[in-house]
Amino acid sequence: MWLTTFFEQIHVERCNNFNTAIVDGEFPASAAYINVSDFNRFVFLVRAGTLNSALTCQVQQATAIDSTAKDITGAVAVVGAGDDNEVFLIEVECRRLDINNGYNFVTLDVTGAAGGDDYLDILFIGVNPASVPVTQPTGTNTPVIVAG
């Protein structure tokens, strides 16, 4: 059996800058939507920092890296104002996208931020790729692997 590493099988992409107050918007922003056509499923991992607002995190799909996005039904998490330091996962099977109409790009739309004092750390994780090793985005450092 041929086994590969996490780094080769799982695509991990940062969607916002850590320790920067969140504002309403798409993460990643238009012109940087993530193409999921090579994955079986994907996850937005949202780590809440300190919060003073309730935030709605809605996964959206689009036909291009910069086209108009629309909601994916049910792919939403509400992060409460008191959910400091909690982790939220929104997992979507790619066949749930409107693939027949070319919707292969995704983003996470965050709404409800107010006052510049709400913090989220948002990561995209592409799971079960069509081929390995997956291409990691710029800014992903060389992994340390202890195996053998």
| pLDDT tens-digit series, residues 67-116 | 999 999 999 999 999 999 999 999 999 999 999 999 999 999 999 999 89
31: left (phi over 0), alpha (psi -120 to 50) or beta: left
Q: H or E element: which one contains 8?
A: helix 6-9
Q: What is the pTM of this model?
A: 0.93
- The pair of three-digit structure tokens given for residue 3, joined into one six-digit string: 């086994």
Percent of residues in the chain assigned helix, strand, coil, to nearest 5: 5, 40, 50
> Cα–Cα distance between 116 and 136 in angstroms, integer?
31
Neighbours of 81 (CB within 10 A): 14
Closest CA to 110 of 43, 35, 44: 44
Neighbours of 4 (CB within 10 A): 11
Which tens digits make up the pLDDT trace of 104-141? Answer: 999 999 999 998 999 999 999 999 998 888 988 888 88
CB 127 within 8 A of CB 39: yes
Closest CA to 137 of 5, 15, 46, 4: 15
Query: What are the angstrom distances between the C-alpha of 135 and each of 25, 55, 68, 70, 105?
Result: 26, 31, 25, 26, 16
